[in-house]
Structure 1
């Protein structure tokens, strides 16, 4: 889990994540874990939000808010690929900046 832990650490320190966390009432670490869980759940059978809620313990309402800020389920395809590792994993920060209007 070293790569994933490193990515989540970078995501949690992202100012946009901290801002989103404040709006939703969660910690940046919880939002980072939620984003990861949503990305993973998107690639699995079943409801994405329900799967992420089960794996994180966060409420489906909070996860739905996060999903909305990310751009919906359509944005999760790229996120899931990045969280899955591979050559694109280092681009997660740039993608998050793009999702939140930063480049």
Structure 2
């Protein structure tokens, strides 16, 4: 189970895992995970969340808007941003890398 699966399960009304969300929007689950991560990161930035995430991922804003809607709207993106940025430094990438190292038994 991915980190995103756990987050999705905690949000009422959202699909219960990335695979189901990927089926809903017609994308590969790995691409949906990238989209969710990009949406979580760009939600914290100035500007339109979907537009910024589209620039970072190359996905169309329409697809990203479907993902935002499926996970519970813009408000749910705050949950993703908070969960992904565990140390609160505004950069979730270092935290995601730390989680990935933990999954593979590296420190």
Structure 1: segments with no counterpart, 5+ residues: 1-8, 90-103
Q: Which deviates the most, 11-20 or 77-86?
A: 11-20
Structure 2: segments with no counterpart, 5+ residues: 7-15, 89-94, 96-107
Instruction: Give the distance between the partners of 1:64 and 1:32, measured in 2 at CA.
Output: 14
Instruction: Give the distance between the partners of 1:72 and 1:23, measured in 2 at CA.
Output: 15
TM-score (norm 1): 0.69
Aligned residues: 81
What residue in structure 2 maps to residue 73 of structure 1? 74
Q: Which deviations, in whole Å up to 9, do the C-alpha atoms of 1:8-40 show, x marking residues without a partner?
A: x82477762101101211000000000000000
What residue in structure 1 maps to residue 29 of structure 2? 28
Instruction: Give the distance between the partners of 2:77 and 2:4, measured in 1 at CA.
Output: 18
Q: Which runs of 4+ in 1 moved over 3 A?
A: 11-15
Residue of structure 2 aligned with 1:10, choices 2, 26, 36: 2
Greater helix proportion: 1
Change (3 A) 1:86 1:21: same
TM-score (norm 2): 0.66
| Greater gyration radius | 2
8 Å Cα contact 2:54-2:64 kept in structure 1: yes
Instruction: Give the distance between the partners of 2:87 and 2:46, measured in 1 at CA.
Output: 22
